[in-house]
Amino acid sequence: MNSGDRNDRAAWLKGPSIKCSGLPEKLNRPWRLVLLGPPGVGKGTQAELLTRRLGACHLSTGDLFREAQHRSEREQTLAMGAALNFMKRGALVPDAIVWELIRERTSCLHCQGGFVLDGFPRTLAQAKALQVLLENERLSLDAVVTYELPGAEIISRLSGRRTCEKCMAIFHQTAQPPRIEGICDRCGGALFQREDDRPESIAVRLDAYEHSTAPLIQFYRNAGLLTLVVATGSGEEIFQRTMTILESRVKPTGDGSQYEQSAVFAR
């Protein structure tokens, strides 16, 4: 395991003027991934497992908004206050607000351990903006992993989900309960049910996914980056499935003539 364990993602969660503590170690070929899939499919859990294994930083837009939610109103910008109102209803935050936050955090895309983007991009406009930003920053994605799951299972996963208010670790009332009810195994923080995991918000989120985010699958398929993963089974099983597929992908050495496996997998 690497120092990704201790990375507090401060620059991402609190703003780019704050320094991260426990930066991931510097990698020669850091992985840069995007995770897609409907809400409740387990992207957050997979992002955590992947970032620990790959040494990358977990860049979750949902965590960014939830972190702001725990700040007092005075500490929130007007744009963030508006964003949180959309989030509570389960609706997508407008592209302009999301984009402002991402643009401010461009330095996170250069993280020396790479990154796993979770929850962004979520609309075609966001995906196109990200493409231009990455080109300008001379960065490229290695893969876009999309998780697939039947609708009934999604609803059961969302309604039983509990999140740590301190470290954002994810549990499930039946599938992955904490050792002590209501308490995070990892940091001792209190577990809460996200407001947008209530039934009325779940329906809005699933609808937003179908209309706004599902079209990204074709966008990334056309770009040759799409990797489909079936998200049934335990978190660990899904993770192993993801790693097997990612390990079969190769990364260019730079001159385009030779290909080799990422150093991360050689450890």
Q: Residues interacting with ligand ADP, by CB under 6 A?
A: 39-40, 43, 61-62, 65, 86-87, 90-93, 98, 119-120, 122, 126, 196, 205
To the nearest 10°, report the CA torsion of 214, 215, 216, 218.
110
Task: Kindly name the residue from 122, 157, 162, 251 that is annotated as catalytic.
Answer: 122
Minimum distance of ligand ADP from residue 266's CB (angstroms): 32
Give the Cβ contact number of residue 163 at 10 Å: 22
8-state DSSP, 167: T
Identity of the residue, 56 or 127, whose beta carbon is nearer to ligand ADP in the bound complex: 127
Residue 179 annotated as catalytic: no
To the nearest 10°, report the CA torsion of 104, 56, 232, 214.
30
Identity of the residue, 32 or 43, whose beta carbon is nearer to ligand ADP in the bound complex: 43
Minimum distance of ligand ADP from residue 64's CB (angstroms): 8
Residue 194 annotated as catalytic: yes
In the bound state, the residue with its beta carbon closest to ligand ADP is: 62
Task: Kindly name the residue from 9, 53, 66, 161 that is annotated as catalytic.
Answer: 161
8-state DSSP, 6: G
Give the Cβ contact number of residue 2 at 10 Å: 18
Q: Alpha-carbon distance 33 to 59, whole Å?
A: 10
Identity of the residue, 4 or 44, whose beta carbon is nearer to ligand ADP in the bound complex: 44
Residue 103 annotated as catalytic: no
Identity of the residue, 123 or 262, whose beta carbon is nearer to ligand ADP in the bound complex: 123
Residue 186 annotated as catalytic: no
Tokens, residue 25 = 């170690």
Identity of the residue, 101 or 111, whose beta carbon is nearer to ligand ADP in the bound complex: 101
Minimum distance of ligand ADP from residue 31's CB (angstroms): 20
Task: Kindly name the residue from 43, 53, 157, 251 that is annotated as catalytic.
Answer: 43
Tokens, residue 235 = 């978190």
Question: Contact, 92 vs 184, CB < 8 A?
Answer: no
Helix (H, G, I), strand (E, B) or coil at 67: helix
Residue 122 annotated as catalytic: yes
Question: Contact, 145 vs 33, CB < 8 A?
Answer: yes
Q: Alpha-carbon distance 168 to 13, whole Å?
A: 11
Minimum distance of ligand ADP from residue 175's CB (angstroms): 15
Minimum distance of ligand ADP from residue 203's CB (angstroms): 12
Q: Which of 129, 122, 142, 130 has its CA nearest to residue 56?
A: 142
Q: Alpha-carbon distance 115 to 33, whole Å?
A: 6
Identity of the residue, 36 or 56, whose beta carbon is nearer to ligand ADP in the bound complex: 36
* Residue corresponding to tokens 């301190």: 166
Minimum distance of ligand ADP from residue 39's CB (angstroms): 3
Annotated catalytic residues are 43, 122, 161, 194, 205
